[in-house]
Amino acid sequence: MAERPLPANTNIEMKYLSLFLTIFVFAYALSAQTVSSSVAFVGVNVIPMDRERVLANQIVIVRGGIIAEIGDAAKVKIPKDAVRVDGTGKYLMPGLVDMHTHMLSDDDFPDGFAEDELKIMVANGVTTIRFMIGTPEQLVLRARAARNEIIAPTIFSASPHLTGREQGNDFVVTTPDEARDAVRKSKAAGYDFIKVTTFIKPEVYEAAVDEAAKIGIRVVGHADSRFVGVERAWKAKQQIEHLDGYMELLVRDDSPVKGSVSDLYIYDINNWKSLDFIDESRIPDVARKTVAANPYVDPTQHFMKNTFGLARSEESIRAQPDFRFYPARIQDRYIDFQKRTRLNQVPLETRARWVGYRDKLIKAIYDAGGKIMAGSDTPEFLWLYGFSEHRELQALKDAGLPNYAVLAAGTRNAHEYLGTIAKSGTVEKGKVADLVLLNANPLENISATENRAGIVLRGKWFTQVEMNKWFDEIAPRMHRGFEVEEKTAAATVEKLGGKVEWNSEGEVVKLDLNNAKITDSDLAILEKFPGLQWLDLRITPISDAGIAHVRTLRKLKFLNLFRTNLSDKGMENLRGLIDLETLLIGGTRVTDAGLVNIERHQKLRKVSVFRTAVSDAGLASFAKLPTLEILLIGESKITESSAKASLPKVKFTEQT
């Protein structure tokens, strides 16, 4: 397209244009200076992680987000504009990678807390993470981090998990075609890996793996011993998390108990009896087969060891430095779990033996040439971001890995697996400046990773003094702000004409917006109520765009959308609400096509399709609901005779 010429006699306009261009160029130059400003670490000891060594008394220049120069202090010239950091007696190493993370804002917290959560990771020296159950919000955060719009690690995100049963934030895959479709959708959405978890039939798993290979995306996650199994995962070259299913490989053939002490089956007390029939001589062979299939292993050993293995008292939990960040209701939830869990029936000696076997597996895999990776499974069970990365490093040390191997697990091994080792993961000229400055040598004592002087995140220097202030600012915000935000949001709902109910714990559980004058954008406030169980939106003008905000309400049991502008497309937003017991969609534009995912709601007891275009063809979807008791079909296209024939145990009514 040709440029549009300026009109004649534009002296005034040209003056303003000239002024604007001058300001723009100046601002751009200033911005460029900010981005490319230098940091010089002077007299620092470098742990490059290319091999086990320390480069003493170095100068490291960081410029424009990369490592521009490394050399002897006597030879490297320090730029005049550089921020000088005294590295005397300190150690510079690559930033840490946590290969197994989640966030409270994936579920319990409003999305607005995500930036705080990511800053906590950075302040602990974690500069790269992998989310292990993906959400669309994570992809937005990934892009914002890459543009340096937020202080956050570099983000990789696995897909919503593929599972054989509804568990929330997932793809339920029960056929090979469903598995292939889930893989394609995940790749198209931009996720970095395909996450598999539990209850996936072998042929469905193999279809997912095959499709992933065809379109160029790797499979990671669990190896459910009762469905997929480790050996099938090995054949697929899957990267296995948690050492899932590995214990079962060690159980002798004469064991009366074949159960696996891993994954969901860890809660089956009977399975723990299998530990009396472990054959340790199998460990070296299991390790060799692991390395031959896929040498990259993320055991999440600290999480498994200290959540399910060793005893954990309430006093020890409350003494953790990260405990203060959790809201009281989440603190109480997990403390109560520790008191009531069935695992307390398993003798501590047995649980300690289980930890010991896992330690031996980790060490054997390392000895066989495996690449152990550090993953924390944060923030589950009150093990918070960043803090738990250091606990995982210590757990790997306790398993018998030498300190250099532990550091490799938290740095270069992960980058090798992620495919980023050419630009990250070691301290070398030309690589991304993601660095941690320590006050002591971690090659001598691995706990030195917790004694930080500061970090460099994509070229920007933060002192630990500054980041400790982040902790002090964020902790009360996370601990109390959860409730404060909820109260503020509740007041807003009441101004919109809604009614609010709270439970005894001070959590909003019921919102009645019946006939309220609300818009689609008003419903963004729903994310402030993650504990909501009852929502009435009937006779409101909201459309699919507004209903999209409902999808964050994972604990919802009752949802009334009568006479809203819900369509088949909007029904897709309800697919993750697996606790729903009542769904009223009468008077909407929903058709048979909109019911395609209703089988995900396995707890549904009452459904209304009153005055909709749902027909007899839709009855097949309702037949997949095992707990359905009442179906309201008045003025729909469903005939009563067909309904009674298809759903003989269900009560039908004409009422709305």
Nearest to 274 by CA among 213, 350, 328: 350
Over 50: is that where the pLDDT of 30 sits?
A: no
Q: Is 594 a member of any domain?
A: yes
Q: Are 122 and 153 in contact (CB under 8 A)?
A: yes
Tokens of 135: 């959400």
Same domain, 382 and 502: no
**Cα 275 from Cα 354, distance rounded (Å):** 7
Same-domain check for residues 212 and 333: yes
Distance CA 83, CA 80 (A): 9
CA distance 461 to 452: 13
Give me the mean pLDDT over the 143-163 stretch: 97
Overall domain count for the chain: 2
pLDDT value of residue 655: 60
Mean pLDDT of the chain: 91
In a shared domain, residues 417 and 525:
no
Examine the pLDDT at 517 and tell me if it is beyond 60.
yes
User: Is 454 domain-assigned?
Assistant: no
- Whether 417 and 516 map to the same domain: the answer is no
> What is the length of the chain?
656
Band the pLDDT of 481: cuts 50, 70, 90: low
Residues 258 and 113 reside in one and the same domain? yes
Residues 419 and 503 in one domain: no
pTM over 0.85: no
Among residues 397, 424, 451, the one where a domain terminates is 424
Q: Which of 155, 134, 158, 133 is nearest to 146 (CA)?
A: 155
Cα-based torsion angle of the residue sequence 599, 600, 601, 603 in order, rounded to the nearest 10 degrees = 90
Task: Evaluate whether residue 462 is within a structural domain.
Answer: no
The answer to whether 604 and 625 have CB atoms below 8 angstroms apart is: yes
* Residue 331: inside a domain: yes
82-109 residue pLDDT tens: 999 999 999 999 999 999 999 998 877 7
Residue 617 exposure: Cα atoms within 13 Å on the Cβ side: 8
Q: What angle do CA 356, 357, 363 make, to 5 degrees?
A: 90
Task: Please state which of the ranges 39-53, 156-170, 385-399, 413-427 shows the lowest mean pLDDT.
Answer: 156-170
Q: Residue 649 is part of a domain; what is its CATH number?
A: 3.80.10.10
Residue with more model confidence, 15 or 502: 502
Q: Are residues 225 and 318 in the same domain?
A: yes
Instruction: Please check whether residues 616 and 509 belong to one and the same domain.
Output: yes
For residue 649, which phi and psi values (nearest 5 degrees)?
A: -95, 0
**pLDDT tens figures, 525-546:** 998 888 899 999 999 999 999 9
Q: Is the pLDDT of residue 28 over 60?
A: no
End position of a domain, from candidates 391, 424, 457: 424
What is the mean pLDDT of the segment spanning 470-478? 94
Q: Which residues contact 252 (CB under 8 A, 6 or more apart)?
A: 277, 278, 279
Residue-range definition of the domain harbouring residue 138: 95-424
In a domain? residue 42: no
Q: What is the CA radius of gyration of the chain?
A: 28
Same domain, 504 and 408: no
User: Does residue 519 fall inside a structural domain?
Assistant: yes
Nearest to 273 by CA among 359, 351, 356: 351
129 plus 217 within the same structural domain: yes
Residue 452: inside a domain, yes or no? no
134/259 same-domain check? yes
The predicted structure's pLDDT at residue 168: 73
HEC profile of 245-291: CHHHHHECCCCCCCCCCCHHHHHCHHHHHHHHHECHHHHHHHHHHHH
Quick one: pLDDT band at residue 467, thresholds 50, 70, 90?
Answer: very high
What pLDDT score does 201 carry? Answer: 97
**Domain membership flag for residue 125:** yes
CB atoms within 10 A of CB 77: 11
The CATH number given to whatever domain includes residue 130 is: 3.20.20.140
Which tens digit of pLDDT belongs to each residue from 554-608?
Answer: 889 999 999 999 999 999 999 889 899 999 999 999 999 999 989 889 999 999 9
Residue 588 near residue 565 (C-beta atoms within 8 A) = yes
- pLDDT at res. 406: 99
Whole-number pLDDT of residue 106: 84
CA dihedral 571, 573, 578, 584 (to 10 degrees): -40
| Residue range 351-382, pLDDT digits in tens | 999 999 999 999 999 999 999 999 999 999 99
Of 424, 443, 476, the residue at which a domain comes to its end is 424
d(CA 508, CA 495): 16
Q: Is 369 left (phi over 0), alpha (psi -120 to 50) or beta?
A: left
**Same domain as 121, residue 236:** yes
Helix (H) or strand (E) holding 535: strand 534-536
User: What pLDDT is recorded for position 482?
Assistant: 66
